[in-house]
């Protein structure tokens, strides 16, 4: 049986005079490339608590609007992963759409070395993994 590590994620955006801008992160831990905010849930942690924790850890944001849209992805890892004494074969993350008015973030340098606010088109070009591109497409459908 495949065991997936449960996690949270968010597609963060803000409205600007030039249109919608989306927050992407350049990952440096375990692999290098551009991604959306994501992280695993701690043992016994609820989705909402995990989301708040990840938002604070990776952006410093405490105030934001969570839109009702969500999208879940499930993916296998190339090797087994041990976290908190549990062996996982992949991850399952539930992503939500989050709106903020804040431009500057407090970057968690343990996992990322930089971030960018980009257009939807730029994000589709820069995001490393296809499942993050799929999240962007699904969660922005109908967004104005």
Domain total for the chain? Answer: 1
What count of residues does the chain have?
A: 144
Domain span holding position 109 = 4-140
Give the chain's largest Cα–Cα span. 50
Q: pLDDT digits over 62-89, tens only?
A: 999 999 999 998 887 776 555 555 677 7
- pTM of the model as a whole: 0.90
Q: pLDDT digits over 96-124, tens only?
A: 999 999 999 999 899 999 999 999 999 99
Average pLDDT, the chain: 92
State the CATH number of the domain containing residue 96. 3.90.79.10
């Amino acid at each position: 049986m495949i065991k997936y590590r449960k996690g949270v994620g968010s597609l963060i955006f803000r409205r600007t005079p030039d249109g919608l801008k989306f927050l992407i992160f350049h990952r440096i831990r375990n692999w290098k490339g551009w991604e959306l905010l994501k992280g695993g849930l701690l043992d016994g942690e609820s989705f909402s608590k995990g989301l708040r924790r990840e938002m604070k850890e990776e952006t410093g944001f405490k105030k934001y609007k969570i839109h009702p849209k969500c999208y879940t992805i499930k993916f296998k890892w190339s090797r087994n992963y041990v976290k908190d004494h549990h062996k996982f074969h992949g991850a399952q993350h539930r992503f939500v759409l989050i709106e903020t008015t804040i431009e500057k973030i407090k970057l968690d340098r343990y996992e990322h070395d930089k971030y960018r606010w980009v257009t939807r088109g730029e994000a589709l070009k820069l995001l490393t993994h296809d499942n993050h591109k799929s999240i962007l497409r699904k969660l922005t459908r109908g967004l104005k």
